[in-house]
Amino acid sequence: AQKITQTQPGMFVQEKEAVTLDCTYDTSDQSYGLFWYKQPSSGEMIFLIYQGSYDEQNATEGRYSLNFQKARKSANLVISASQLGDSAMYFCAMGLFGNEKLTFGTGTRLTIIP
């Protein structure tokens, strides 16, 4: 069975600083995808970034990058130059190729301090 672990229930970060949100995963499959979603206080789920297990380079999307360390089974989200609008709940998730389910972690609540 797949499992996603997010060990940081909450984080407080000063505005404009970089922040790393931790995510480790557990699977015996070789083909999988890792996702990060943002959930602001309004409740919607916003896709941020994706990393495939066979991708050799770390994924980047604007201020978001995914620090993928396959041997350690970690997929940390890095947000550069944090902004007040980054305050939200962040979820790490994993999907197996050919599987219909996303397995989610319990989330990290990020608060950006002015």
Partner 1 sequence: EAQVTQNPRYLITVTGKKLTVTCSQNMNHEYMSWYRQDPGLGLRQIYYSMNVEVTDKGDVPEGYKVSRKEKRNFPLILESPSPNQTSLYFCASSFSRGQETQYFGPGTRLLVL
Interacting residues toward partner 1 by CB under 8 A: 4, 31-33, 35, 37, 43-45, 47, 50, 52, 91, 93, 95-102, 104-107
- Taking the complex as a whole, how short is the minimal distance between the CB of residue 27 and partner 1, in angstroms? 11
Between 31 and 80, name the residue whose CB sits nearer to partner 1.
31
Q: How far apart are CA 112 and CA 114, in angstroms?
A: 7
Tokens of 86: 């980054």
Between 18 and 46, name the residue whose CB sits nearer to partner 1.
46
26, 32, 54, 80 alpha-carbon torsion, rounded to 10°: -70
- Taking the complex as a whole, how short is the minimal distance between the CB of residue 57 and partner 1, in angstroms? 16
**Region for residue 63 given its phi and psi (left: phi exceeds 0; alpha: psi -120 to 50; beta: otherwise):** alpha
- Taking the complex as a whole, how short is the minimal distance between the CB of residue 114 and partner 1, in angstroms? 27
- Taking the complex as a whole, how short is the minimal distance between the CB of residue 112 and partner 1, in angstroms? 21
Pairing of the two strands 64-69 and 74-79: antiparallel
